Each structure stands twice: as structure tokens, then as C-alpha cells.
């Protein structure tokens, strides 16, 4: 594929971010759990769905990355490790920590697979082929700022998931989470993931990274708002000072 054709895929991801954001103003994606509902066709166990739909983000990224002429260079290898730190956990660790019994529509799983293949191609090809990351990039403040933002988001994402798992282990159905990022927002796990990929966009300083960060925001911000509404509708004593996604703001 030519570099010119590659940029069409980058543009497609920007367009998909816009379409996703608009669509999710009217539809709450039924990934399972509190938002699971009938009417979306056949379903699979949510654990299976998560593995199948997230695995391409790790495995396909690696395969596409290895096609690049810069695949053995230090900075692209560091980007590969950052990416895999998130997606190995998301595809092959997180699903086995989920609550058993919930289900996911096959349609949602298939749509996620298609996006993950597109996104893996766009970002892997950039960092290992079309990007130009000499070792001197390690001295650029954008690299270190981006990595610091990525790591901060990663820690918030994992810590928030750990708090939610603790609530599920205690039984008695859904409860109001507290501590960590939940002191400020209803979905700190989503906030952490958004922060991660803006960190990636800064560290790679690329349109590919920006497209992914914007898509992540377009996908997760409406879901955070839906979670926030659900908490207020379900728990009369839900903290009024807690925001949906951005502390003190939104």
C-alpha cells in the first residue's frame, strides 16, 4: 500500500470518530452489565466477546508493526511496548477479571473488531514505517510528556477497574464506587483511557495518534455520560458533586 493510500485510512478514522460521537448521543452501546438489553441480535458471553474483539488490537498491531522498515529501531520498539502494555492487559487479562454471567451482542463485538483492525493498521504503520523516529526523539520533550501522560492515564484506568472489581466481589448487586478517581467522576476508568491515548498522540506527535485519541473520546465520553445518568437514576444518595468524566467540569 502506498503512503497516499495510508492517509485515506487515517482520514477514515477521523470521520469514524465524528460518526461515533453523533450516534452515541442517541444510542447507548449495550456492552453488557448495567447497559445490557435485548434487541441487538445474538449474544456471546461478555468475557469471550472482550477477548475476541480486543485481541486484534494487540496481535494485528504487532503483525502490522513487523512489516515496517523501522521495526528494529529503538523509539518504534518503545512505542510498541507502550501499545502492548495497554492491549495485552485489555485483551488477555481484563476479560478474566470480569464478572461472569453478562453477555455482549455479536454485532457490537464485530464492529469493535473492524475498528481495532483499522486502528492497529493506522498506528502500527505510522510508528514502524511512515514515521521518522531517530534516537534523538528520546531527547524531545514531546516524547517524555506523552509517555508521562500515557502512564498516568494507564494507572488511573487500571486503578479504577480494580475498585469496580472490589465492589463486585463484595456481592449485593450494584453499589456506588468510591475512592481513587471515583471521588471526582463517575467513570475514571474511561477518563484514564482517554488520557492514555492523548499521551500516545503527544509522544508519537502524529495524526494517527490524534485520530485514535479523538475516536476514544468520541466513544467513551457519551458512555461516561450514560453511566453518570444511570448512577443518579439508581441511587438517590449519589454524590451530587461528582462529575461524569472531567473533574469539576463535566
CA distances from 239 to 16, 184, 185, 198, 221 (A): 34, 9, 10, 28, 20
**Mean pLDDT calculated for residue range 178-184:** 92
Closest CA to 14 of 246, 201, 202: 201
Which is more confidently placed, 25 or 11? 11
| pLDDT confidence bin for 97, thresholds 50/70/90 | confident
Q: What is the pLDDT of residue 82?
A: 97
CA distances from 191 to 72, 111, 160 (A): 33, 22, 10
Q: What is the pLDDT of residue 111?
A: 93
**Mean pLDDT calculated for residue range 121-129:** 97
| pLDDT confidence bin for 8, thresholds 50/70/90 | very high
Q: What is the pLDDT of residue 100?
A: 65
Q: Lowest-confidence range among 75-89, 166-180, 192-206? A: 166-180
| pLDDT confidence bin for 168, thresholds 50/70/90 | confident
Q: What is the pLDDT of residue 85?
A: 97
> Under 8 Å CB-to-CB from 16, ≥6 apart: which residues?
115, 118, 215
> Under 8 Å CB-to-CB from 129, ≥6 apart: which residues?
67, 68, 69, 70
Overall pTM > 0.85: yes
Sign of CA dihedral 213, 219, 221, 224: negative
* Cβ–Cβ under 8 Å, residues 126 and 2: no
For residue 71 the three cell numbers come to: 521495526
Percentage of the chain exceeding pLDDT 90: 73
Q: Is the pLDDT confidence value at 39 over 80?
A: no
| pLDDT confidence bin for 116, thresholds 50/70/90 | very high
Amino acid at each position: 500500500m502506498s503512503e497516499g493510500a495510508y492517509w485515506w485510512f487515517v482520514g477514515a478514522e477521523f470521520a469514524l470518530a465524528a460518526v461515533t460521537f453523533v450516534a452515541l448521543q442517541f444510542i447507548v452501546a449495550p456492552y453488557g452489565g448495567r447497559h445490557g438489553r435485548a434487541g441487538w441480535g445474538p449474544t456471546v458471553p461478555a468475557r469471550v466477546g472482550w477477548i475476541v474483539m480486543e485481541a486484534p488490537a494487540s496481535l494485528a498491531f504487532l503483525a502490522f508493526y513487523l512489516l515496517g522498515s523501522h521495526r528494529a529501531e529503538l523509539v518504534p520498539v518503545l512505542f510498541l511496548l507502550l501499545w502492548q502494555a495497554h492491549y495485552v492487559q485489555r485483551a488477555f487479562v481484563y476479560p478474566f477479571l470480569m464478572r461472569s454471567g453478562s453477555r455482549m451482542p455479536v454485532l457490537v463485538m464485530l464492529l469493535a473488531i473492524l475498528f481495532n483492525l483499522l486502528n492497529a493498521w493506522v498506528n502500527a504503520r505510522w510508528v514502524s514505517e511512515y514515521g521518522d523516529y531517530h534516537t534523538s526523539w528520546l531527547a524531545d520533550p514531546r516524547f517524555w510528556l506523552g509517555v508521562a501522560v500515557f502512564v498516568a492515564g494507564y494507572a488511573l484506568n487500571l486503578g479504577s477497574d480494580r475498585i469496580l472489581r472490589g465492589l463486585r466481589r463484595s456481592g449485593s448487586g450494584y453499589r456506588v464506587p468510591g475512592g481513587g478517581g471515583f471521588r471526582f467522576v463517575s467513570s475514571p476508568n474511561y477518563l484514564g483511557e482517554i488520557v492514555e491515548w492523548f499521551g500516545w498522540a503527544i509522544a508519537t506527535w502524529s495524526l494517527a495518534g490524534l485520530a485514535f485519541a479523538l475516536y476514544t473520546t468520541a466513544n467513551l465520553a457519551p458512555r461516561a455520560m450514560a453511566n453518570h445518568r444511570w448512577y443518579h437514576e439508581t441511587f438517590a444518595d449519589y454524590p451530587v458533586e461528582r462529575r461524569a468524566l472531567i473533574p469539576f467540569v463535566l
